[in-house]
Copies of this chain bind each other. A is one copy, B any other.
Amino acid sequence: MRDAYHDELDAISAALVEMTNMVGSAMARATTALLSADLQLAESVIAADDEVDQVYRDTEQRAFDVMARQQPVASDLRILVTSLRMVADLERMGDLALHVAKVARRRYPANAVPQELRPTVLRMGHVAEEIATKAGRVLSERSVPLAEQLERDDDEMDELHRELFSVMLEDDWEGGVECAVDIALVGRYYERFADHAVSVARRVVYLVTGERPVPATS
């Protein structure tokens, strides 16, 4: 019984890592769809979020079942409760990729991102993909140094986010109101995506060190 139990914990852990791959890939494809006004790609990102939601529900159910059946002791209980919160962060990251894809779809056949902001949005997409991948490694390797590195990626995301706004608020901005609104929301989606990755990493650090994570406020 004890072995089946640890198999369950391993399966939950593997599902979390799988979700980091799914949402990282979703955000990468959403960024491409956004920058190239690719409707088909946007639709595929939107449709694929159902799979993320399915893994979310399955993993949540599995964690609840293990808790109910096995009455885990303190350390395993902490892992399970923390997993439930990480799976919620990851599910939300999937939603945020979906939102970026929806902006691409809404503006199609126009391109939602004006030329001058393309490098910034492209970089935000890359940082988002990298941060999701690192969150996966933090999860699988339980690496505190890597979690710290991920925080620096989040700082870069915040900087890119500020950059978007400063460009839009310059006097010579020609993108118009609709475009500015889209970019403001898109910027927020990337920023929140990174925040949730940070949250996952901090929860892993908590499991490893016992240090309580501080919620990100942005």
Contacts and interface: CB of A to CB of B under 8 A. Distances in A.
A177 B180 contact: yes
A8 interface: no
Given A180-B177, A181-B184, A81 B98 contact: no
A137 interface: no
Nearest to A75: B68
Contact of A180 (B56, B88, B181, B217): B181
A123 interface: no
Interface in A204-218: 212, 215, 217
Interface of A: 49, 53, 56-57, 61, 64, 67-68, 71, 73-74, 77-78, 81, 84-85, 88, 91-92, 95, 98, 165, 168-169, 173, 175-178, 180-181, 184-185, 188, 212, 215, 217
A217 B188 CA distance: 15
Given A168-B177, A188-B185, A212 B85 contact: no
A45 to B, nearest CB: 13
A168 B181 contact: yes
What's the dominant secondary structure at chain A's contact region?
helix
Nearest to A80: B81
B85 A88 contact: yes
B67 A215 contact: no
* Nearest 9 Cβ contacts at the A-B interface: A181-B184, A68-B74, A177-B180, A184-B184, A95-B217, A180-B181, A169-B178, A67-B77, A180-B180
